[in-house]
Amino acid sequence: MYNVLQILTTILVAVAMAMALAHALELPGKMRLTKETYFAMQPIYYPGFTIGGGIGEFGGLIATLILLFFTPWGSATFWLTLVAFLGLAAMQAVYWLLIHPVNQFWLEGENLSGFSASFFSFRANQPDATHPPNWTHLRNQWEYSHAIRAGFALVSLMAIVVAISTQ
């Protein structure tokens, strides 16, 4: 059963890495877009990335935590699994602190319902009419934060693969 958990964890972390890497690889091209084009393309990520992120990131985080619980404390495998878990946790911190507030801005005017409406309204920033947001600042925050998440995802994937392969 432990081996199945290791494989499942690796797959989920790989999905999280794939989602983050896809965003990071778009960065150079998206930085060249005009405001109108950039705004037009931002809604295409939903719901696909939301579903994939939920499965890969949340599932990977939970599976890695469970795997950590069953890994002998103090072993090299334990520490590598802990690194993988911390990388996934850091991905979540970057998302909730830097990306999620900007998502609300990109999705303004979109007709979301059900889970998506609830998810994207959670902790949404209320617009400040006296200081309208600078779109390039929001774009840079969104794009570079995704690149940072890709780095954390890569560390997590490498750590979990090495942990599993060195037993």
- Per-residue pLDDT reduced to its tens digit, 138-155: 999 999 999 999 999 999
Q: Which pLDDT tens digit goes with each residue over 85-139?
A: 999 999 999 999 999 888 877 766 656 555 544 555 555 555 555 556 789 999 9
Percent of the chain whose predicted confidence (pLDDT) is above 90: 68
Instruction: Give residue 152's identity as a one-letter amino acid code.
Output: F
pLDDT, residue 45, reads 81
Residue 81 to residues 14, 89, 140, Cα–Cα distance (Å): 14, 12, 32
Query: Minimum mean pLDDT among 11-15, 17-21, 53-57, 71-75: which range?
Result: 53-57
pLDDT, residue 18, reads 96
pTM for this prediction: 0.86
Question: What range defines the domain where residue 142 resides?
Answer: 2-126+133-165
Instruction: Work out how many domains the chain is built from and give that number.
Output: 1
